[in-house]
Amino acid sequence: MPDFPRRDDYPKVPDPAFPDRMVSTKQANRPFLNYTEYRTKREAEHAAWLERKKERGERLAKGEEVGPEEPDPTEEPEVGCLGLLKFILYATVFALLAGKFITGSFLWEQQLPNFRSGSRSTNQRLFSERMLATFDGSDNAKPIYLAIDGDVYDVSPGRLTYGPGGPYHMFAGKDAARAYGTGCFSTHITHDLRGLSEDELKGVEKWKRFYANGKKYVKVGRVSHPPIDPASPIPEHCDPKKAKARRESHRRMSLRPEAS
């Protein structure tokens, strides 16, 4: 049966805390002994530096030429504000480059928050058609708004698309819900959805979801439209074939006898 407690055959050295006592160099004691040795070495280096600093001061007092003052070799370097700023800068650059390499986007495919629009999202307004028309992008000091089926959105982040000269500038400052369903961008710039087919109404709903669920544009209010006169003519489709088919459909409906 092995001896218990086990015999300690490790060499012994003077205890740093009590020099008159010897202590084993076994594994459990080594971290303490190594730290004590490191601290003793640092104290000796600091004492030697103080002695050199004293000698330098004495030589200066005598008017002798001396070199630059030697820094304390035991002084721990401080990070400081400049070092912290450098670390933040390097970390930011690394994160951006990593995002570009991994996802193809510096922002890791995330969108920057739209602070300009977000600040108005909690204070939604009611617009008249005349007021909405003033946000068509012609005034650079104003955001660009458009409406679809009554809901008004800030599309300022897409100024190149919705601003003057953009491919969809015709939507700016207006509620062109009908054009979203029919694709008649020049003749259906209106909110009048009467007479649209089921597919066309689905197209309008699709675009409504695009603006409502996207992160790029923010809803800022509603537009109040005057009532549409039911007897007013329905805007004719820009496609002659569809316009003809719709006229024939309406004619057949008008000739159908009413149920008794």
Nearest to 156 by CA among 185, 166, 230: 166
Burial of residue 207, with CB atoms counted within 10 A of its CB: 0-12 exposed, 13-18 middle, 19 or more buried: middle
Its pTM stands at: 0.51
Query: Using one digit for the tens of pLDDT, what is the confidence trace for 226-256?
Result: 999 999 998 999 988 887 877 776 677 666 6
| Residue-range domain boundaries for the chain | 12-60, 84-113, 115-226+235-244
Range name among 9-23, 63-77, 102-116, 172-186 with the lowest pLDDT average: 102-116
User: Is the separation of the CB atoms in 21 and 31 below 8 Å?
Assistant: no
Superfamily name with CATH number, domain 115-226+235-244: Cytochrome b5-like heme/steroid binding domain (3.10.120.10)
